[in-house]
Amino acid sequence: MNKKGLIIFSSLFLLAACDNGETTDPKEEPVPEETIVEGTEGENEVPEPEVEIPAHTYNSLVDETTFTEEPGLQAWEDYKAIIDDVDLGEISIINGEDPNFDELNGTTSEEIQDLVDSIGIREDVFQDEVEVSENEKLTFYRYPPAEDSEHTETAQFLAELTFYYADDNLMFSSITPGFYSVEMTDLPSANDLMTLMTVSEIEDLNPKVYTIAEMQINDEKIQQVMTPAMDVNEEGSEELMAFYFFTKDDEIIQYAYLPFEMVSQDFPTNSILLYYQLVPELENL
């Protein structure tokens, strides 16, 4: 893994984002009403098949308040549908000085694009791609506000799907907000979050999440979710932190936290970097 390449990319992105990325307080959006379609009675009536919603460990952590407006929430449904049918490359194979890309078996970028096309993704979702190094790239799918949204002038996109490839093998995927605010009241402390043992306990807090991601480590899918927390810094004052849980199924196996201001300029890249920094520890869990 070319860590230097990712770190340089992150620094450049931070400089650009500082000029353009500002958050505002989101207004409450009404929950879309459920539409009930009544069919006509008759012997020849054929019931429509139920649409199966892909399961995800963090299903209960995401609701209509996680992303600004319906287009953001649609990104979550699309994300689940895509990653439900992909293979992640084994990160341990390339997390060394001389990575062997030939041993990877992750889904290719072309296959991901085929999945995106097959689920009927919104036509206004726009794609971007960044080459991190000779063998690495990041592909983004960004969900803009609706044309009649109050956020069209302030937000280029409301949610973002990110796919990281090494030698065209999928190694990482994530979904993050593109437009958000942080409610500073009643946030848990980092110390309190360190005591949690399961995803179910995270759900009990009903937290706002800002990153959901996954990687493959030792043939296990290790998932990551980030939520804000408060901590006391070296100067003795409270500081807003980005608290990351690393989970395997329902079990929390590791955690880490960083200043929220630092990671908020580029959620996906900081998520990847944190994974790589913790791979040696996660391999032994």
Average pLDDT of the residues of the chain: 82
| Statement: residue 160 has pLDDT above 80 | yes
User: Do the beta carbons of residue 228 and residue 23 sit within 8 Å?
Assistant: no
- Based on C-alpha coordinates, what's the Rg of the chain? 20
CA 69, CA 25: separation in Å to the nearest integer? 13
| Statement: residue 33 has pLDDT above 50 | no
**What value does the mean pLDDT take over residues 48-72?**
75
Alpha carbon 17 to its chain centroid, in Å, reads 18
Confidence of residue 26 (pLDDT cuts 50, 70, 90): very low
**What value does the mean pLDDT take over residues 223-237?**
93
* Percentages (nearest 5) of helix, strand, coil residues in the chain: 30, 25, 45
Alpha helices in 22-166 (DSSP H): 69-83, 91-94, 109-118
Degrees to nearest 5, angle at CA 241 with 94 and 150: 100
Confidence of residue 39 (pLDDT cuts 50, 70, 90): very low
Residue given tokens 């929390």 in the structure block:
252
Considering the entire predicted model, what is its pTM? 0.80
139's CB contacts (< 8 A; 6+ apart) are 109, 112, 127, 128, 129, 162, 163, 165
**What value does the mean pLDDT take over residues 80-91?**
95
| Statement: residue 208 has pLDDT above 80 | yes
**What value does the mean pLDDT take over residues 75-97?**
91
Alpha helices in 141-266 (DSSP H): 190-193, 199-205, 260-263
User: Do the beta carbons of residue 227 and residue 267 sit within 8 Å?
Assistant: no
Per-residue pLDDT tens for 231-282? 988 888 899 999 999 999 999 999 999 999 999 999 999 999 999 999 888 8
Confidence of residue 117 (pLDDT cuts 50, 70, 90): very high
Pair of tokens at residue 251:
């079990």
CA 82, CA 77: separation in Å to the nearest integer? 9
153's CB contacts (< 8 A; 6+ apart) are none
Strand partners, 165: 137, 170
Confidence of residue 53 (pLDDT cuts 50, 70, 90): low
Pair of tokens at residue 49:
């098949």
Alpha carbon 180 to its chain centroid, in Å, reads 14
Confidence of residue 31 (pLDDT cuts 50, 70, 90): very low
Alpha helices in 99-166 (DSSP H): 109-118
Helices and strands counted in the chain (H then E) = 8, 8
| Statement: residue 29 has pLDDT above 50 | no
